[in-house]
Structure 1
Amino acid sequence: MLFNTIDFAIFMPIIFLLYWFVFKKNIKIQNVFLVIASYFFYACWDWRFLGLIFLSSIVDYLVGMSLAKTELKSKRKALLLTSLIVNLGVLGFFKYYNFFIESFQEVFSLFGRSLESSTLHILLPVGISFYTFQTLSYTIDIYRKRIEPTNNVVSFFAFVSFFPQLVAGPIERASNLLPQFERKRQFNYAKSVDGLRLILIGLFKKMVIADNCALAVNEIFGHYPEYSGSTLFFGAFFFAFQIYGDFSGYSDIAIGSARLLGFDLMQNFNSPYLSRNLGEFWRRWHISLSTWFRDYVYIPLGGNKGSQAKWARNIFIVFLVSGLWHGANWTFIIWGFIHALFFIPLIFGNKNAKFKDIADQNKLLPSIKTVLQIGSTFLVVLLAWVFFRAENVTHALLYFKGIFSISLFSFPTVSRGLVLFLIIYMIFEWLQRDRKHLLEIDFINSRPLRIAIYYVIVFAIFYFSGDTQPFIYFQF
């Protein structure tokens, strides 16, 4: 069930009304209702994979309960290993089986040997990377004694399957989301209004920005030999906004839908294309995943401790694993490698955490220095996106060859209206950079003016939306 369809437009109000007006008095029934609604939501994709969510939920619930009952180190490690094997085993089989088999075949062929091995036609369960990491963090945090396990199986199943963020995040921590299922929720008008605003801006990002950019991206990437270097550059430029509008739009709708039900999910995007270096970019882009890798991969590897060689090793591991998490293709691994190459100098120069403030706070216009910092960071991110979008490594290399040709300096054959629209959109992001989201406009005292803004956005969604495209991150 897509957020940007009539199905969800019917589904969400029904859930909202039943949740608040029929099941409001009993939190247990509310949670049971959310589990049923979430499983139905997922079944609309493919009911056959509901068993995987159930398996992940029951295994980690039982492992968490068992961890609470023992202090024996060997038994605790065995329990943690059980969770890791089950969750990563299922994820690995469905997502990476064919990739590794085909990669082994290619390696053997380089030495003139033929490796006979069959690959399977395996469907990738939507959202498996997201809910797998969510349940794993629960078990790991209990193992580390950072949280206590819940003995409420319904609350835990609701935590794992919560439909607003089930398919594409944010990847929630049990310490934040699980307690919200175990305490009574009260309807909050202000929170619900803000939730609606988030849903509205999320639909705008997806249907107006991402889907329109997708049309240009599909054409340019699909017929790249026919276009000039300047047009290919703008193809990458459009993809940068397609994936941003697509994924941040999904996150906004997810967070907004959760707020309608009385839940607070973590922020997943914070104007990442206004970042002044890659360190700031990764604190603003897919925040739930980047912090997950920081806490459960980078720090356990040693983080910034030890020699600089170990620092570099840890950075490369995190970004390569991050690339592999996104998909079973060498293009994603190279994408992670590129980010690691540019991130390591920041670590060595102690500049990765340099920009934690708001750029040129309280200033209407950015300084020249800020413009150069944002521009250079965006250029690195934009070029790395080519590998992310390309079908394979050869496609990406030929695309780059086309970009860096003499035709890079020719006039691009792209929609100038779309380019201008994206620039205007980023101006609004700059003006709203110190707020939680683009439609946080309570500072406008005139209520009619605020309502007029909402109506303009609704009009834009209906009038300017592109052809409906699937959310990009559903494939991950």
Structure 2
Amino acid sequence: MLFLTYWFVIFAVAFYVLYWSIPVARVRVGLLLVACVVFHTHFAGPAGVVPVLLLGLITYLAARSQNKKACLAAIAVCAFALVFYKYSSFILTSALSPISPEMAKTVTEWVQEHLLPVAPPLAISFFVFEFVHYLYDVRKGTAPLKSPVEFGAFAVFWPSIVAGPIKRYEQFVPAMHEGARSVSQHDVAIGLIRVTIGLVKKYVADNLTAYITYSVSLYDTLPLATRWWIFIALGLRILLDFSGYSDMAIGFARMMGIALPENFRWPYLAANINEFWRRWHISLSTWSVTTSTSPSVETGSESLAGSSMGWLPLPSAVSGMAPRGTSCCGASTMGWDWPSAETTARCWGGRDACSPSGFHETGFLPGSSP
């Protein structure tokens, strides 16, 4: 966990002491950008930083031009980078294994050795999601960021790199400047409390991970009640892990006077899968919906019904409810690839992503009124 290393503790203490001591808002924003670059460079290394910097530069220049074709091309580059770094091995193995398992292994190993880094660039999915959302908004007519410092601080904001929340630049940049002008003691106190809550969640999640790993090795000998508890513990671990990171990100940002959007609202208490999606990884769900033609899904008080994304190569251009549901399902399933590129993650994400589409088409799911 990046937030529990000695290096990060020293980094965070030094950053906040400097940030709170500097009286000039513009200098604070510059310090934030430098800190973001240092943070990402330390944990990602050169092989992880260079692709992100290139994608960021392409995104910034394409948006700055306000040319729709340039924005579309930049979106395609970002999508290709995500597929290349995260899914090349999976695609090659899936495509070549039916022909020749030996050839699939040879080609995949060559690509991994000569073309791919040891691991995908840190948070490549996160960066691509934010860049795509930014380019989409600019392509719709929203004014782009002119300042490279503002764009850089938005793009590489260190608290949210690990697991979100996914930010919207039209909300984040004003909040960043407001925080740079004035950070109250109340903001710092609330931020510290939120970081502490996140740390506790991560501690519990890590212990549940150890318990689950040990129990699975004995699964065949365990009684039914214990097996059910393992199933419940797995669900708790996933929630506590994701929401713990989000709590820490929100807390660290609040200590700078910056308010990030909430990301989890007790999702396991939802009455049905549609409501679950309004509570679980809210920023990712919002991204999925707003980058497709969506069913009537709402996040908090903000209705996202009827939003459309003409560039997405899904059946959204076809009129009717079913294509809209298909488009949302496709975008949401892609979104679930963020935490994992494994087939099991895609199946889990696809099930949860397509269920709201079914809710939209039929108006009924178990746990809701027909």
Same fold per superposition (TM over 0.5): yes
The question of 1:4 aligning with 2:4 is answered yes
Q: Which of 160, 164, 171 in structure 1 is aligned with 2:166?
A: 171
The question of 1:127 aligning with 2:123 is answered yes
Quick one: distance in 1 between partners of 2:338 and 2:121?
Answer: 14
Higher radius of gyration, 1 or 2: 1
Alignment correspondent of 2:57: 58
> How far is the alpha carbon of 1:31 from its aligned partner?
2.0
Equivalent residue runs for 1:374-393 within 5 Å: none
Alignment correspondent of 1:282: 277
Contact persistence 1:165–1:254 (CA under 8 A): yes
Contact persistence 2:267–2:279 (CA under 8 A): yes
Taking only aligned residues, the RMSD between alpha carbons, in angstroms, comes to 2.6
Quick one: distance in 2 between partners of 1:12 and 1:233?
Answer: 40
The question of 1:292 aligning with 2:305 is answered no
Equivalent residue runs for 1:270-419 within 5 Å: 270-299=265-294, 300=309, 306-340=319-353, 342-350=355-363, 373=367
Look up the equivalent residue of 2:133 and give its one-letter code: S
SS in 2 for 1:220: helix
Q: Compared with structure 1, are the counterparts of its residues 310 and 89 closer, same or farther at alpha carbon in structure 2 (3 Å cutoff)?
A: closer
The question of 1:117 aligning with 2:107 is answered yes
**Aligned residue pairs: how many?**
341
SS in 2 for 1:206: helix
Q: Which of 128, 136, 156 in structure 1 is aligned with 2:151?
A: 156
Quick one: distance in 1 between partners of 2:150 and 2:266?
Answer: 33
Quick one: distance in 2 between partners of 1:313 and 1:216?
Answer: 38
Look up the equivalent residue of 2:86 and give its one-letter code: K
Q: Which of 36, 41, 46 in structure 2 is aligned with 1:43?
A: 41
Quick one: distance in 2 between partners of 1:220 and 1:28?
Answer: 53
Q: Compared with structure 1, are the counterparts of its residues 293 and 172 closer, same or farther at alpha carbon in structure 2 (3 Å cutoff)?
A: same
Alignment correspondent of 2:188: 192
Quick one: distance in 2 between partners of 1:293 and 1:232?
Answer: 34
> How far is the alpha carbon of 1:289 from its aligned partner?
0.4
Question: Which residues of structure 1 form unaligned runs of 5+?
Answer: 68-75, 353-371, 375-476
Could you list the per-position Cα deviations for residues 357-409 of structure 1 after superposition, in whole angstroms to 9, with x for gaps in the alignment? xxxxxxxxxxxxxxx959xxxxxxxxxxxxxxxxxxxxxxxxxxxxxxxxxxx
Quick one: distance in 2 between partners of 1:233 and 1:97?
Answer: 36
Could you list the per-position Cα deviations for residues 277-326 of structure 1 after superposition, in whole angstroms to 9, with x for gaps in the alignment? 11111111100100000001244367799434324423432343234344
> How far is the alpha carbon of 1:106 from its aligned partner?
2.6
Q: Compared with structure 1, are the counterparts of its residues 292 and 6 closer, same or farther at alpha carbon in structure 2 (3 Å cutoff)?
A: same
Q: Compared with structure 1, are the counterparts of its residues 340 and 190 closer, same or farther at alpha carbon in structure 2 (3 Å cutoff)?
A: closer
Quick one: distance in 2 between partners of 1:304 and 1:236?
Answer: 40
The question of 1:15 aligning with 2:15 is answered yes
Quick one: distance in 2 between partners of 1:304 and 1:200?
Answer: 46
Contact persistence 1:53–1:161 (CA under 8 A): no
Look up the equivalent residue of 2:90 and give its one-letter code: F
Contact persistence 2:293–2:325 (CA under 8 A): no
Quick one: distance in 2 between partners of 1:285 and 1:304?
Answer: 28
Alignment correspondent of 1:369: none
Alignment correspondent of 1:383: none
In percent, how many aligned pairs have the same letter? 30
Alignment correspondent of 2:301: none
Look up the equivalent residue of 2:320 and give its one-letter code: S
State the TM-score, normalized to the length of structure 2.
0.84
Q: Compared with structure 1, are the counterparts of its residues 327 and 220 closer, same or farther at alpha carbon in structure 2 (3 Å cutoff)?
A: same
Q: Compared with structure 1, are the counterparts of its residues 101 and 39 closer, same or farther at alpha carbon in structure 2 (3 Å cutoff)?
A: same
Q: Compared with structure 1, are the counterparts of its residues 312 and 85 closer, same or farther at alpha carbon in structure 2 (3 Å cutoff)?
A: closer
Quick one: distance in 2 between partners of 1:244 and 1:228?
Answer: 25
Q: Compared with structure 1, are the counterparts of its residues 235 and 199 closer, same or farther at alpha carbon in structure 2 (3 Å cutoff)?
A: same
Quick one: distance in 2 between partners of 1:225 and 1:349?
Answer: 40
Quick one: distance in 2 between partners of 1:340 and 1:280?
Answer: 12
Quick one: distance in 2 between partners of 1:311 and 1:134?
Answer: 23
Which of 217-226 and 289-298 deviates more?
217-226
Quick one: distance in 1 between partners of 2:166 and 2:193?
Answer: 22
Quick one: distance in 2 between partners of 1:98 and 1:3?
Answer: 29
The question of 1:103 aligning with 2:94 is answered yes
Quick one: distance in 2 between partners of 1:181 and 1:19?
Answer: 13
Alignment correspondent of 2:70: 79
Quick one: distance in 1 between partners of 2:5 and 2:91?
Answer: 36
Q: Compared with structure 1, are the counterparts of its residues 308 and 65 closer, same or farther at alpha carbon in structure 2 (3 Å cutoff)?
A: closer
Could you list the per-position Cα deviations for residues 29-86 of structure 1 after superposition, in whole angstroms to 9, with x for gaps in the alignment? 222211221122122323211212211221111111111xxxxxxxx33202221122
Alignment correspondent of 2:240: 245
Quick one: distance in 2 between partners of 1:341 and 1:62?
Answer: 35
Quick one: distance in 2 between partners of 1:136 and 1:276?
Answer: 32
Look up the equivalent residue of 1:81 and give its one-letter code: L
Look up the equivalent residue of 1:347 and give its one-letter code: H
> How far is the alpha carbon of 1:90 from its aligned partner?
1.6
Quick one: distance in 1 between partners of 2:353 and 2:255?
Answer: 38
Quick one: distance in 1 between partners of 2:244 and 2:188?
Answer: 18
Q: Compared with structure 1, are the counterparts of its residues 103 and 223 closer, same or farther at alpha carbon in structure 2 (3 Å cutoff)?
A: farther
SS in 2 for 1:269: coil
State the TM-score, normalized to the length of structure 1.
0.66
Contact persistence 1:199–1:253 (CA under 8 A): yes
